[in-house]
Amino acid sequence: MQSTTTVEEAIRNRRSVRRYQADSIPLDRLTRLVELGVWAPSGGNAQTWRFVIVTRPEIIRALHAVAPGMLSIPPAVIAICQDKKLAFQRGGKLGQECTSVMDAAMAAQNIMLAAFAHGLGTCPILSFHSEAVARILGLPEGIEAELLIAIGKPAEQPVPPTRTVGDVLFINQYGDTNGKQ
Amino acid sequence: MQSTTTVEEAIRNRRSVRRYQADSIPLDRLTRLVELGVWAPSGGNAQTWRFVIVTRPEIIRALHAVAPGMLSIPPAVIAICQDKKLAFQRGGKLGQECTSVMDAAMAAQNIMLAAFAHGLGTCPILSFHSEAVARILGLPEGIEAELLIAIGKPAEQPVPPTRTVGDVLFINQYGDTNGKQ
């Protein structure tokens, strides 16, 4: 199923949704989101990301118990992980410590925008106990969860926090808001 | 100007573009991209990102000289920075070291998808000398460049690297590709 939602509509209207309807999300829909996630760029085309789609309620409850950032129990979770050993092999220290984190985040943004376009709410979660998540998902040594994305049909319509670029955008030099070229 | 490019079209067709036409990119177009960047989620709504749009050729050349990841001279660069002190105040150690990096990457993905929808090529660059970039852009202490985005009209049509989720997607447990629920 294709959505006609434009890029800008998705970017402007996606909200972090933290309360979900109980309806389960079909696995093929979740797989499709991951397929769009891997079209994100990766540093040096390393593609060292690994994804675990979680739909089993007992595993989601276990994740919830070790993830303070997960405020309710979603019907599905996508854990975006990185093979940190492979990231080191392919990108050295920068790849292991920085690029792999950014790659995971860019893939996450693809997934969250695409989910929005299909009527699904998402919330990125970074606050979790890393070793506990690794144990729950059976991650081998060297594979680390970078972030969790909670996914479900929205049960709330959050008001967006204000955004403005007035104070955070500079032209050519930090502090210069004039932009005289 | 609104683009009708859908989310999925942008996700699937965006490429990292490393060679650009010489045409300058209007400042209002670049500002618009940053405005879309800040609609990315930020951990705890911290919004500690800072953006420097660079259009002055001598500054771009200076960045190029300290950024091995920048393979040619683009007509514009957006430097996505983070106020690391503020990130610590708002999100502690996790905020400073991890969340702020992810926030920058998600904002970058918004910017790159939106740029694609407007016919612009982009390339995210993480390989640069951080202190030199700080000096060139006049970043105060505590403000760090997380990544640079080179931007311009594409002068190449790169072939996309193969993507497949077959080897990187698991269901419920790492290593389980079956997805029996």
The predicted-structure confidence for B146-157, as pLDDT tens digits, reads as follows: 999 999 999 999
Contact A94 B140 (CB under 8 A): no
Amino acid at A114: A
- DSSP line for B63-115: HHHH-TT--S--SEEEEEEEEHHHHHHHHHHHIIIIIHHHHHHHHHHHHHHHH
CB B133 within 8 A of CB B148: yes
Q: What distance in Å separates residue B71's CA from the closest CA in chain A?
A: 13
Structural domain spans, chain B: 7-152
What is the C-alpha to C-alpha distance for residues B23 and A95, in angstroms, rounded to an integer?
A: 33
Torsion of CA B134, B136, B138, B141, to 10 degrees: 20
Contact A102 B99 (CB under 8 A): no
Kindly provide the b/e burial profile for residues A74-89, where b requires at least 16 CB atoms within 10 angstroms of the residue's own CB.
bbbbbbbbbbbebbbe
pLDDT value of residue A180: 55
* Confidence tier at B159 by pLDDT (50, 70, 90): confident
DSSP letter assigned to residue B45: G
Top CATH class, A7-152:
alpha beta
| pLDDT, tens digit, 9 for 90 and up, residues B26-80 | 999 999 999 999 999 999 999 999 999 999 999 999 999 999 999 999 999 999 9
Contact B31 A169 (CB under 8 A): yes
Q: Is A97 helix (H, G, I), strand (E, B) or coil?
A: helix
Q: Which two tokens stand for residue B40?
A: 């990315």
pTM of the full structure: 0.96
Contact B101 A102 (CB under 8 A): yes
pLDDT value of residue B162: 83
Please provide residue B125's backbone torsions phi and psi, each rounded to the nearest 5 degrees: -125, 120
Mean pLDDT of B156-170: 89
Looking at every residue in chain A, the average pLDDT score rounds to 95
Option in A7, A102, A138 nearest B173 (CB): A138
pLDDT value of residue A137: 98
Option in A36, A81, A161 nearest B8 (CB): A36
- DSSP line for A108-174: HHHHHHHHHHTT-EEEEE--S-HHHHHHHHTPPTTEEEEEEEEEE-BS--PPPPP--STTTEEESST
Share of chain B above pLDDT 90, in %: 91
Provide, as residue numbers in chain A, all residues whose Cβ is less than 8 Å from the Cβ of B169: 31, 34, 50-53
pLDDT value of residue A162: 83
Whether the predicted pLDDT of B181 surpasses 60? no
Contact B105 A102 (CB under 8 A): yes
* Confidence tier at A16 by pLDDT (50, 70, 90): very high
- DSSP line for A14-83: --B---B-S----HHHHHHHHHHHTTS--GGG---EEEEEE--HHHHHHHHHH-TT--S--SEEEEEEEE
What is the C-alpha to C-alpha distance for residues B27 and B21, in angstroms, rounded to an integer?
A: 16
* Confidence tier at B160 by pLDDT (50, 70, 90): confident
pLDDT value of residue A149: 98
Amino acid at A153: K
Q: What distance in Å separates residue A66's CA from the closest CA in chain B?
A: 16
Whether the predicted pLDDT of B1 surpasses 60? no
| pLDDT, tens digit, 9 for 90 and up, residues B108-135 | 999 999 999 999 999 999 999 999 999 9
CB B27 within 8 A of CB A33: no
Tokens 């490429």 belong to: B15
| Reported ipTM | 0.96
Return the axis-axis angle of helices A130-137 and A57-66, rounded to nearest 10°: 170
pLDDT value of residue A65: 98
Mean pLDDT of B96-112: 97
Mean pLDDT of B14-35: 97
pLDDT value of residue B178: 79
In terms of CA atoms, which chain A residue is nearest residue B44?
A: A69
Pairing of strands A76-83, A49-54: antiparallel
Contact A101 B105 (CB under 8 A): yes
Whether the predicted pLDDT of B176 surpasses 50? yes
Looking at every residue in chain B, the average pLDDT score rounds to 95
Q: What distance in Å separates residue B129's CA from the closest CA in chain A?
A: 12
**Number of CB pairs < 8 Å for A and B?**
233
* Confidence tier at A181 by pLDDT (50, 70, 90): very low
pLDDT value of residue B180: 55
Option in A52, A54, A163 nearest B39 (CB): A163
Provide, as residue numbers in chain A, all residues whose Cβ is less than 8 Å from the Cβ of B55: 171-172, 181
Option in B56, B110, B161 nearest A109 (CB): B110
